[in-house]
Chains A and B, each alone.
Chain A
Amino acid sequence: MTDLFQVVVFVALVLATAPVLGKHLFQVFDGQPQPLFDRWLTPLENGVLRLVGERGRPAEQAWDYLRPLLLSNLLFGLLALAFLLLQPPWLNPQGLPPMRWDTALHTAISFLTNTDQQHYTPEQSLSDLSQLGALQFLFFTSAATGLAVGFAFIRGLCGRPLGNFNSDLIRAITRVLIPLSFLFALVLLVNGAPMTLAGPVTLKTLEGADQILVRGPVAGYEAIKQIGENGGGFFGANSAHPFENPNPFTNLLAMVAMFAVPAATIDAFGRFLGNRRQATLLLLLVTVLFLALAAVAIGAEQSGNPLLAAWLSGPNLEGKEVRFGAGITALFATITTGSMTGAVNGAMDSLLPLGGLVPLFNLFLQVIFGGQGTGVAYLLVFLILTVFLTGLMVGRTPELFGRKVEKGEIVWSSLILLIHPLFVLVPAAITLAYAPTLSGISNPGSHGISQVVYEYASASANNGSGFEGLGDGTLWWNLSTIVSLLGGRYLPIAALLLLAAGFARKTKVPPGPGTLATDTALFTMVTGVVILILGALTFFPVLALGPIAEAFSLIGAP
């Protein structure tokens, strides 16, 4: 009952904030006047742009947008890498040593790509300087990069020039990410999240032993972690840690924070297009898909493990934070993987097979609200593919938003389809082929397959959560996931920008009675089916061998 209540309140909050925040996003990325912000921020933004020698000309080619993106990201990544590799004694109350090179490289790239896979235990590895200077810095830039790409893509699909990357990046940070995370951080502070640079405290436990309690600037860190769909925890326990997620109220807000920006981006897309109905239908589509998946996950966890039914009735509480319970943890898991955040408030590894199938499925589809900026872009790519397939069936060269979908669009869209299997299945197969030496799997059998596939899916989808239990702090894991991290981030970005730039250059055809309308319930349903079929068909065999086989083994099927 409480689960249902939470789900309803959660969805209501997301759908209610989407138009408000969507309008704001539209104003920010459409360059419209915002009296509340302009007075203080415009001089600041212009100052920064002048500093980097940016004259603010909109990109004419995809490359004009991509070049500053790659350059700036390279710079951000190197900066963070330096912090992690050196880890100087400043703001280092525990006197932690520098990170191992491969873990540092993996961490820097993982945070740079908005993924935040963590192959280390933060409170035992990172100084406050690294947490703030390297990781929290990347929280902002990686989320802003994603938003910039998302809106450049939206502009292209709506027939406009892609825009200026540097300007988009700055405005995303100053007008979207900082204000939102500042507000959220205040709420967290009030609810008890620490915000201090003082070192750890040593406590005497009831048993009389010494316990070292690490503190830090958590509230600010946690806010952008959720808002920016980053997900890398200040503590190893991530959102299950009371400092990161003090109570059920902050838990609810943390869940809303993960979906807020991607939902609002879909709304803002409707405003760019001048067809809000289209955006609303897409928003409803992903909401329905989300609800179906959440129902599976919550149902699985609430009904408990059938093998234990003889001794133990009730939900599966292994690996759950009892403050929230099995249902809410499953809901959180569905949201965090759907939104590419990757923050967790329980152990993914301990989810039951079907409960674990849902996050994996989310990582394969990447559109159930999806990543910061990229989520809506992938959703629109699926829309393009749907238009191409069904548009043919009405007997015209397929059109989307008044522009023809031709070879160029199909090349880039289907390339995006190809990237994910390439960076998930290939490394997973290699790892499993040499499982004894490489994998560090903690549970053999089907669950081991899920662990390995999940790790690469999480890397390639830029999610960051993991079926922990996997011994992933090794050279192999660090280096092989880097390939998936980079491939899953920058190749789709390049393809998206090329697609959008080409699309924007096409002449617009006015709609007529023979035009296939994409803003109808029927077409939206078809899009849903195409998402499920194209997105999941490829991964069905591994899903079958992993979670599905495991599920059958639990119910004692032959």
Chain B
Amino acid sequence: MTTLQPPIFPRMPRGRRDQRRYTERPSSDGLLGRAVVQSFVKLDPRLTARNPVMFVVWCGTLVTLAATLEPRLFELSPEAPGRGFNALLSLILLATLLFANFAEALAEGRGKAQADALRRTQASTQARRLLPDGSEALVDSSALRRGDQVCVSQGEMIPADGEVVDGVAAVDESAITGESAPVLKEAGSDVASSVTGGTRVVSDMLLIRITADPGKGFIDRMIALVEGAERSKTPNEIALTVLLAVLTQVFLIAVATLPPVAAYIDSPTPVVVLVALLVALIPTTIGGLLSAIGIAGMDRVAQFNVIATSGRAVEACGDITTLVLDKTGTITLGNRLAEEFLPVGGHSERELATTAHAASWFDNTPEGKSIVRLAEKLDAVTALPMDTATGLEFSARTRMSGTDLADGNELRKGAVEAIKGFVRSRGGTVPADLDEAYERVSRLGGTPLAVCWNAEIHGVIYLKDIIKPGMRERFDQLRRMGIRSVMLTGDNAITAGVIAREAGVDDFIAEATPEDKIAVIQAEQRLGRLVAMTGDGTNDAPALAQANVGVAMNSGTQAAKEAANMVDLDSDPTKLIDIVTIGKQLLITRGALTTFSIANDVAKYFAILPALFGKAGLAPLNLMGLASPQSAILSAMVFNALIIPALVPLALKGVAFRPSTADQLLRRNLLVYGLGGLVVPFIGIKLIDLAVSALRLV
């Protein structure tokens, strides 16, 4: 075995958001080229038919194309527009379709590039499968099944998702997280024992039990998601599509019934101009960008190093009203470290440290290890026969752990209340100064752990909690967005209160058991609130599933990751704020572009109707003073087409969102997209008209 690398601790969430690195954007070489090709591929009517608005444009293009080939196909009137006009109109309509396709292709392309990068990590590898007799067999990674055990040593790729059964090693997870510093993986630890297929062991060796069948692993899910293969429309997207489809039908009726009405007053209505009017009126802007907005939203989530299982989950984030957070690992740094021994009942510090050392002998948790380290620093190593003793694992129910000696002595450490109960059940008494020590630790915001030897309490260990930097600002931001934060902790009420105050959360629940988490979430949900929760431990899984949005940390267990609908690859629980922002941006972008699209219709009416019905005496409606009827129609259509690529960056990036009240947001967006939607096309169409008539296009 090679020399050990310096000890590497699991990554800590990095500081301020602007300093945080995003996954490098997949290379955008050829992205545009591919998107252009895709824009033409997507002209396939089977694909276009999925979008009712654009399908109408598609059909309209066919009509104008036919009229280009034979201008007298639909009308016999000599005044009907000529071939040149029809050809220009067909070109503009085709461009409208291509622009919409391009927007979608561009959004998809970015996801695809990301998926390709991921897929490269997935190249089939050889795995050393452990056979029941202890020997190893070399198999292809695709042959591995759930429950198999494999051995992976330095330099080898982990063949599939799994849990570490044995060994300690540093793993390079940069393929999925983009973070180059290796991560420590070891058995028995709740947070550091899960490994992901496609990552590489850079030191030592791990024995891994496979937890995912081929094709169902984490990276597979990720690929499917960023590629948009499994993209199903979100409820809100469906509702909007319904509205757009009905608006399209309404305008179809309005335009289709025009010819007889106009004919009654001897005003001819050339079919191509009716097509132009229809395409101008139906909401092509939002219709063309709708899917791009959705895909881009998922893509942005992925860029934040978060994997969402569905667009629905991202959108639900925008609606979250309550955020339930674990204290440990979320608000405070994951590992509480033993800081001090506080003896009670006349025991000495050394006596307490020695007992604590023995009680923590079998404890693999970081806390347990830190107690052992602190005791060893004080030179208080136990002399008890530990080889014959058995360890008692911590359980959330008993809230204590310890060591049972072969001679029947029981050593326990755990929550103070739990140890009190234990001591009383053994007929012991609680020393008077215990509560004093307990409160002292609590007031410091630390976690007190009581230690006892059979029925005798020796003292309290002060486990120090460190609040992550920048938490207070985060919670302030959440509050401005209308999200209430609730901290859940197994700590006593005093400790919890101190931490809650320091971190700035709105509410806390102390001495919480895993069942409490679900109860809290359900209680909030009964009030009609939408709850998001972050968690990492196996015992968080039910609560993650119960919450409307469950975000599991990538460092968490497989069970937690499977129950959640999002996985944060950086294991930074406060990133929920970013996801909430993206969810809100998605909805805002959709609403803003719909409003813009509908408001545009007013100007288009004033461009096309006077041009179409000049003979019927509507020429005075030509408020913009457009040069000629044909130039007016073409200008309106060119505007209608150009506005789509003009808004693509907005659709992909999302409308800017600053945490503020609903009223402020409404005011601002109405001004920009509502009023803007009314005014911009008047200016745009006039400018295009000037250009069209200057170029003598018609």
Contact = CB atoms under 8 A, between A and B. Distances in A.
A230 to B, nearest CB: 29
Contacts of A558: 617, 619-620
A317 interface: no
A432 B260 contact: yes
A392 B594 contact: yes
Interface string B600-624: 0110010001000100111111000
A414 B257 CA distance: 20
A540 B240 CA distance: 24
Contacts, number: 214
B439 to A, nearest CB: 36
A211 interface: no
Nearest to B585: A395
A390 B587 contact: no
A448 interface: yes
Contacts of B235: 397, 406-407
Contact of A417 (B246, B260, B674): B246
A370 B347 CA distance: 86
Contacts of A411: 242
B584 A395 contact: yes
A557 B609 contact: no
A523 interface: yes
A402 B592 CA distance: 22
Contacts of A446: 265, 616-617
Q: Which of A391, A414, A415, A522 has the most CB of B within 10 A?
A: A414
Contacts of B253: 418, 421-422, 425-426, 538
Given A392-B594, A395-B588, A523 B239 contact: no
Interface string A420-457: 01100110111011010000000001101100010000
A557 B594 contact: no
Interface residues of B, number: 74
Contact of A533 (B242, B261, B602, B621): B602
A552 interface: yes
Interface stretch (A26-34, A300-308, A541-549): A541-549
Interface in B266-325: 267, 281, 315, 318-319, 321
Given A390-B591, A395-B584, A522-B663, A545 B613 contact: yes
A86 interface: no
A284 interface: no
B620 A552 contact: yes
A508 interface: yes
Interface stretch (B185-193, B416-424, B665-673): B665-673
B280 to A, nearest CB: 12
Given A410-B243, A415-B246, A545-B262, A421 B481 contact: no
B429 interface: no
Interface stretch (A6-14, A49-57, A133-141, A512-520): A512-520
Given A544-B609, A557-B617, A394 B260 contact: no
A197 interface: no
B590 interface: yes
Interface in B577-602: 583-585, 587-588, 590-592, 594-595, 598-599, 601-602
A510 B260 contact: no
Contacts of B247: 414, 417
A312 interface: no
Contacts of B242: 407, 410-411, 414
Interface string A392-418: 111111000010011101110011011
Contact of B662 (A385, A510, A514, A549): A514
B452 to A, nearest CB: 46
A76 interface: no
A390 B666 contact: yes
A120 interface: no
Nearest to B598: A533
B239 A407 contact: yes
A324 interface: no
Given A415-B246, A426-B257, A390 B595 contact: yes
Nearest to A431: B260
B666 A514 contact: no
Interface of A: 385, 388-397, 402, 405-407, 409-411, 414-415, 417-418, 421-422, 425-426, 428-430, 432-433, 435, 445-446, 448-449, 453, 507-510, 512-517, 520, 522-523, 526, 529, 533-534, 537-542, 544-545, 548-549, 552-553, 557-558
Given A514-B321, A557-B620, 8 more contacts: A396-B319, A429-B260, A432-B261, A435-B264, A514-B662, A526-B670, A533-B598, A552-B618
Identify the 4 closest CB pairs spanning chains A and B, nearest first: A392-B591, A514-B482, A395-B584, A433-B260
Interface of B: 235-236, 238-240, 242-243, 246-247, 249-251, 253-265, 267, 281, 315, 318-319, 321, 480-484, 527-530, 583-585, 587-588, 590-592, 594-595, 598-599, 601-602, 605, 609, 613, 616-621, 657, 661-663, 665-667, 669-670, 673-674
26 contacts: A392-B592, A397-B587, A406-B239, A407-B238, A414-B242, A417-B246, A425-B253, A429-B258, A432-B264, A446-B265, A507-B528, A510-B528, A512-B482, A513-B480, A516-B663, A522-B666, A523-B666, A533-B598, A537-B602, A539-B254, A541-B255, A542-B254, A542-B261, A545-B618, A548-B618, A552-B618
